[in-house]
Amino acid sequence: MKIYPFQIRRSVRLLKRMRSNSRKMMMWKNYPLAKEVVAMLDALSERSGRHSPCDKIFLMKILLDNISKSDTPRFAISVLERQAALFKSVSEEDLKEYDDPLTVGEVEAELGKWREYIDIDGVTEEEWCRKYHRYLRFDPIERTPLWEEIYYEVEKETDEAIGRNAPRGMGFCFLYWSSKAAVLARRGIFWKSPHEMNPRVMFD
């Protein structure tokens, strides 16, 4: 049985916490954990007798599946760029350890998607939504560096404002959006929720 390096074992534990947060609709809590995982993997060589580049690529995929890429696109791009670079060192033997390995083409497609998302001057919201089959409009501020910079603190303050005992079933999205709008307003940011941006859509 392969004994993985400490950095990989620690990353796996952090990713399990991230998956748990995602199931609890607390994906925002994963942002600092994701940064810790990246730091762990950055400190590890591409290959040793106990791991291959594919192991790092796989862990980064789990990481990306458990963060809000639309809220943290620049961070997501940095992770995708790491994945793309690692593919240069992947061998046929490495791929045999995975039943359905991620491909460099899939990573490059995701890179293109999120690079266009942050290209505010070059790609309009309508163009991006049409190309990537995003059917709900969103406030343009969500594409800005500022949004990503304040994302974690805003979500944390919003969660605190809502409280632990608030029911998170039908109608929760409206409580969440109104609380988030209030948090942002205190920072001088007047954000339009998905409901305001899509008045003809029914949300529950």
Residue 171 predicted with pLDDT over 80:
no
Write the pLDDT tens digit of every residue in 126-155: 999 999 999 999 999 999 999 999 999 999
pLDDT of amino acid 77: 99
Q: Return the higher-pLDDT residue of 96 and 58.
A: 58
φ, ψ for residue 167, nearest 5 deg: -65, 135
Segment 165-169 mean pLDDT: 74
3-state secondary structure of 90: coil
Residue 38 predicted with pLDDT over 90:
yes
Burial label for 12, CB within 10 Å (0-12, 13-18, 19+), is middle
Give the pLDDT band (50/70/90) at residue 204.
confident
pLDDT of amino acid 1: 47
Segment 68-93 mean pLDDT: 96
CA distances from 23 to 29, 159, 165 (A): 12, 16, 17
**Using CA atoms, how far apart are residues 24 and 11, in angstroms rounded to an integer?**
20
Nearest to 70 by CA among 173, 169, 147, 185: 147
3-state secondary structure of 51: strand
**Using CA atoms, how far apart are residues 86 and 97, in angstroms rounded to an integer?**
16
Residue 50 predicted with pLDDT over 90:
no
Residue 111 predicted with pLDDT over 50:
yes
Count CB neighbours of 17 within 10 A. Answer: 13
Percent of the chain whose predicted confidence (pLDDT) is above 70 = 99
pLDDT of amino acid 2: 67
Domain ranges of the chain: 6-131, 140-197
- Contact between 127 and 91 under an 8 Å Cβ cutoff? The reply is no
- Per the structure block, which two tokens stand in for 202? 């029914």
Question: Measured between alpha carbons, how far apart are the two ends of the chain, in Å?
Answer: 48
Residue 200 predicted with pLDDT over 80:
yes
Residue 115 predicted with pLDDT over 80:
yes
